[in-house]
């Protein structure tokens, strides 16, 4: 079914004489490539009759792109590049902002995208954008095109809003909401695991000795004291007096590093950056898999980096739920906000990320020198992870009391 010129105008919401290359490109991409190819001559004649011929370079690029799509040779990037070369389609990524597909954009993002398109149309009319040069891949033309968009995105609108700032703020809020939802989902699953595991008594003697060692480690200059207190979101001179609070805060920092100042005096750049990057790369699925294995296994459970990676590999979040082994009655899985370990499993990569975890757990006394779970770790590690997820899932609420 061919696309008529008046249909293109209707889709764009403006007359044939005012259509832009972007308008035509979007209309062509909205129908099967074979139909779009068959429609090209008629659309071109219609625009010529309306006094809006566009350019030979545009029609040639349109035919080449549509033919590549029809033959299955065009990538998403190829199509995106052609669309952006119309001159009034924003770049997919500008600075730190990435535009979602139109159907997925928020009201704010759609408003800013529409405003940017209008701005680019003004610059096109003023002769500051040359679509034919963009289509040819001219370096200077592409640089100017990007610079115009970056300038608009970082300049205040009449109402005072800066597009880049408000868009990034909104995206941050969306990501935070997704992460908090994942925390709540993981916390619910963890609570069920701990209920099945039963009581895990607090070993007061071990806690007292471990807390004393930790205070000494923090008081000494150099590794690993600064890392421990920074991850725990504390300061060396303001450690909690209560041993359980100290231990849980430091252990929680291993699961979710709270510190954001990694540039203090005596910082060991490579060590700190590598450790923090590894800790932050572990997600809800990884931690839930590991804590489930340790909580149900009890003291003596192997907790080396390869063991922890194996627990993640073998973990089934539905195991033991109401529907019995292997899943619930509906076959649903916890997805933890999409953080469900669904990607191809990289066992060696996961092992590497758990190496600093085991190092810090040994310092905490959660595992022994043979990398097996201690009674202190059995009591404390699930509590530390629970406090991380409970704090995020219920901001402002108090974490579970130690012991």
Residue 401 falls inside a structural domain = no
153 and 97 fall within a common domain: yes
Residue at a domain's end among 168, 184, 205 = 168
DSSP structure string for 123-182? HHHTT---HHHHHTT-HHHHHHHHHHHHHHHTS--TTS--HHHHHHHHHHHHHHHHHHHH
Contact 58, 21 (CB under 8 A): yes
Q: State whether 129 and 253 are in the same domain.
A: no
192 lies in some domain: yes
Domain end residue (candidates: 138, 168, 198): 168
What's the rounded Cα separation, in Å, for the pair 209 and 294?
Answer: 22
pLDDT, position 279: 84
Read off the pLDDT of residues 204-240 as tens digits, 9 standing for 90 and up.
999 999 999 998 888 877 777 777 877 777 776 788 8
Same domain? 100 vs 120 = yes
Cα–Cα distance list, 193 to 167, 256, 259, 382 (Å): 39, 20, 29, 10
Q: Domain range for residue 378?
A: 172-393
Residues recorded for the chain: 403
Max alpha carbon distance in the chain (Å)? Answer: 91
pLDDT of residue 119: 97
What are the contacts of 279-284 at 24+ separation with CB within 8 A?
279/231, 279/254, 279/255, 279/353, 279/356, 279/357, 281/353, 282/255, 282/353, 282/354, 282/357, 283/182, 283/336, 283/339, 283/341, 284/182, 284/183, 284/185, 284/186, 284/336, 284/337, 284/339, 284/389
Q: How far is CA 237 from the centre of its chain?
A: 35
Q: What is the pTM of this model?
A: 0.66
Whether 317 and 212 map to the same domain: the answer is: yes
Which one of 168, 197, 217 terminates a domain? Answer: 168
Residue 403 lies inside a defined structural domain of this protein: no
Burial (0-12, 13-18, 19+ Cβ within 10 Å), 107: exposed
* C-alpha neighbours within 13 Å on the C-beta side of residue 365: 22
Q: Which two tokens stand for residue 96?
A: 């730190």
Q: Residue 272 has what pLDDT?
A: 60
**Residue ranges of the chain with per-residue pLDDT less than 50:** 259-270, 320-342, 395-403
Instruction: Based on the fold, state whether residues 221 and 260 are members of the same structural domain.
Output: yes
Q: How many Cβ atoms from other residues are within 10 Å of residue 79's Cβ? A: 17
Place of tokens 């471990």: 210
Residue 150, domain member (yes or no): yes
Number of structural domains (the chain) is 2
**What pLDDT sits at residue 266?**
38
């Amino acid at each position: 079914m061919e696309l008529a010129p008046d249909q293109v105008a209707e889709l764009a919401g403006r007359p044939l004489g005012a259509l832009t290359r972007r308008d035509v490109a979007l209309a062509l991409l909205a129908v099967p490539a074979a139909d779009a190819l068959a429609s090209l001559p008629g659309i071109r004649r219609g625009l010529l009759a309306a006094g809006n011929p566009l350019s030979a370079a545009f029609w040639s690029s349109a035919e080449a792109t549509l033919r590549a799509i029809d033959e299955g040779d065009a990538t998403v990037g190829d199509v995106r590049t052609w669309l952006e070369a119309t001159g009034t389609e924003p770049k997919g990524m500008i600075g730190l902002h990435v535009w979602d597909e139109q159907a997925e954009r928020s009201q704010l993002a759609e408003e800013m995208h529409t405003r940017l398109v209008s701005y680019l149309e003004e610059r096109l009319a003023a002769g500051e954008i040359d679509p034919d040069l963009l289509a040819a891949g001219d370096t200077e033309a592409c640089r100017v095109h990007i610079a115009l968009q970056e300038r608009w995105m970082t300049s205040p609108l009449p109402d005072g809003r800066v597009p880049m700032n408000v868009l990034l703020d909104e995206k941050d809020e969306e990501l935070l909401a997704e992460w908090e939802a994942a925390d709540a989902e993981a916390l619910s699953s963890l609570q069920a695991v701990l209920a099945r595991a039963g009581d895990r008594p607090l070993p007061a003697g071990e806690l007292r000795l471990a807390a004393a060692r930790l205070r000494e480690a923090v008081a000494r200059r150099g590794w690993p004291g600064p890392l421990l207190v920074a991850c725990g979101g504390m300061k060396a001179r303001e450690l909690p007096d209560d041993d359980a609070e100290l231990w849980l805060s430091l252990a929680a920092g291993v699961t979710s590093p709270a510190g954001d100042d990694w540039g203090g005096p005596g910082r060991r750049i490579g060590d700190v950056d590598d450790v923090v990057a590894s800790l932050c790369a572990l997600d809800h699925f990884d931690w839930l898999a590991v804590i489930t294995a340790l909580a149900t296994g009890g003291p003596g459970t192997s907790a080396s980096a390869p063991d922890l990676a194996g627990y993640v590999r073998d973990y089934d979040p539905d195991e033991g739920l109401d529907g019995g082994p292997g899943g619930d009655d509906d076959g649903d899985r916890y997805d933890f906000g999409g953080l469900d370990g669904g990607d191809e499993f990289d066992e060696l990569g996961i092992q590497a990320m758990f190496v600093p975890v085991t190092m810090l757990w040994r310092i905490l006394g959660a595992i022994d020198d043979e990398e097996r779970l201690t009674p202190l770790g059995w009591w404390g590690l699930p509590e530390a992870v629970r406090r991380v997820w409970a704090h995020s899932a219920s901001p402002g609420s108090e974490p579970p009391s130690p012991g």
